[in-house]
Amino acid sequence: MAKTGKVIKKSFFDVKSSLISSKISLYGTTKEEMVGKTVNLDLTRILRGKNLEFKMKVKLDGENLVGEPVSLNLAGAFIRRMMRKGSDYVEDSFITECKDCNVVIKPFLITRNKVSRAVRNLLRTTTRKYLEGYLKARTSKEVFSDIMSNKIQKELSFKLKKVYPLALCEIRVFEITLDKPSESPKEKQHVKEEVKEVREVKEEKKEEVKEEKAEKVKKAKKE
């Protein structure tokens, strides 16, 4: 007779998220099996047509499965629909800091009309400066929530209106990363100045040592 193996029952496990109100369920054998899995959610219906993909990583918090936010990505199809003839786009990508982690953020802007390179550069630099200040004052979860509610995009669009009016102001990518933010030109200059000061101190010490040796030689000759 053939041996009958033990049947492992599978069931659905609920995953809670502080950012998403809709029910999320994963199919498996145990809760422990679900830990570390990545969940991709399409938020198009929730956000009324905006093709935003939300990625979470499942963790075990006590007896509950919790989805920790990892990234938000705006679909290329949505951006292509928003593009119009006679307009320009401005994009950027950089690593910066939130209160609790480092993140990659990629803003995407579409102007109402064609603009010069100088205007595009000013839009890019103004956007980066604003976002760096905005993110440093908030946790990553707060920024995830602000992007999904369109809060950060509205405030940024109002800020950039003084430079040039926009047809679209969006965050194309927001993702938690382990990489460190690159140093700004001011920080690099500060580091160069510190290195220069260290070198000058070392040179002074060398001169002092030489002078002390010369004095010892003179004293030895006199004796």
Give residue 201's pLDDT.
46
Average pLDDT over residues 102-130: 95
Question: 6-45: per-residue pLDDT in tens?
Answer: 667 888 888 888 888 778 888 888 888 888 888 999 888 8
> According to the 3-state scheme, what is the secondary structure of the chain?
CCCCCCCCCCEEEEEECCCCCCCEEEEECCHHHHCCCEEEEECCCCCCCCCEEEEEEEEEECCEEEEEEEEEEECHHHHHHHCCCCCCEEECCEEEECCCCEEEEEEEEEECCCCCHHHHHHHHHHHHHHHHHHHHCCCHHHHHHHHHCCHHHHHHHHHHCCCCCEEEEEEEEEEEECCCCCCCHHHHHHHHHHHHHHHHHHHHHHHHHHHHHHHHHHHHHHC
Average pLDDT over residues 136-158: 95
Q: Residue 117: is its pLDDT beyond 90?
A: yes
Give residue 49's pLDDT.
80
Give residue 194's pLDDT.
46
Q: Residue 217: is its pLDDT beyond 80?
A: no
Question: 46-87: per-residue pLDDT in tens?
Answer: 888 888 999 999 998 888 888 899 999 999 889 888 888 889
Q: Residue 112: is its pLDDT beyond 90?
A: yes
Average pLDDT, the chain: 83
Give residue 110's pLDDT.
96
The residue among 139 and 20 whose pLDDT is bigger is: 139
Q: Which domains does the chain have, with CATH numbers?
A: 11-82 (no CATH), 83-187 (3.30.479.30)
Q: How many CB atoms lie within 10 A of CB 169?
A: 23
Question: 151-208: per-residue pLDDT in tens?
Answer: 999 999 999 999 999 999 999 999 999 877 765 555 455 445 544 544 554 555 566 6
